[in-house]
Amino acid sequence: MSFRFFSDKNRSVHLGPYPLERFARGGQPDLSTLAPFEPMSFHRPEDPQNLVNAMDDYQAMMDVIRDGVVNPTQSTIPEDGTARAEHLKSFGYFSDAAMVGAGKLHDDVRLKTPVTNPAIDRLAEALRTRQTKTLASGIDMIMADLKESIEAPPA
C-alpha cells in the first residue's frame, strides 16, 4: 500500500506529480571536460562470457523500431519554446516518466554525423532469409512490424 506525498489534483499536466519547480536552477555545466563521443559497441570478442555480447541483436532490433515507420500525420508544433517544452514534458509524464526536464540544445552539442548500429544490416539480412523458429503467440506480428521498420526510409 502506498500513499501520495504530493497531490497533483490541481496541477497542470506538464508539471508532473512532484513539485520540481521549487528546485533552484543551476548554471550551465562545463562541457569541455567531457570525453569525446564514441558510439556504443555491443561486441566484446576478448570477453565471450560478457552479457553485452548477447545484447547486440536485441539492441539492433530496438534501434530499428526506434528509427522505423514514422506517422505521416504532421502535428502542429507550438512556435513558443515554453509551450513546446510543456508539450514534451506532458508527454513524458503521460508515458509514466517520474521526472521530466527540457532544455535548449545548441548546434555545437549535436553530432556532426549520425551514428548507425552496424548490427542493423546483419539483422535486415537475417530477416530477409531466416524463418521464425518459435511458436510464441504474436511473434508473426512482431516480426512483420520489424521487417516493415527495417524497410522504411530513414526519417
Whole-structure pTM value = 0.62
For residue range 80-112, list pLDDT tens digits in order: 999 999 999 999 999 999 999 998 888 888 888
For residue range 67-79, list pLDDT tens digits in order: 777 778 888 899 9
No. of H helices and E strands in the chain? 4, 0
If one counts every other C-beta atom within 10 angstroms of the C-beta of residue 150, the result is: 21
DSSP element (H, E) containing 83: helix 81-94
Alpha-carbon span 131 to 142, nearest angstrom: 13
If one counts every other C-beta atom within 10 angstroms of the C-beta of residue 61, the result is: 19
Q: Which amino acid is at 36?
A: P
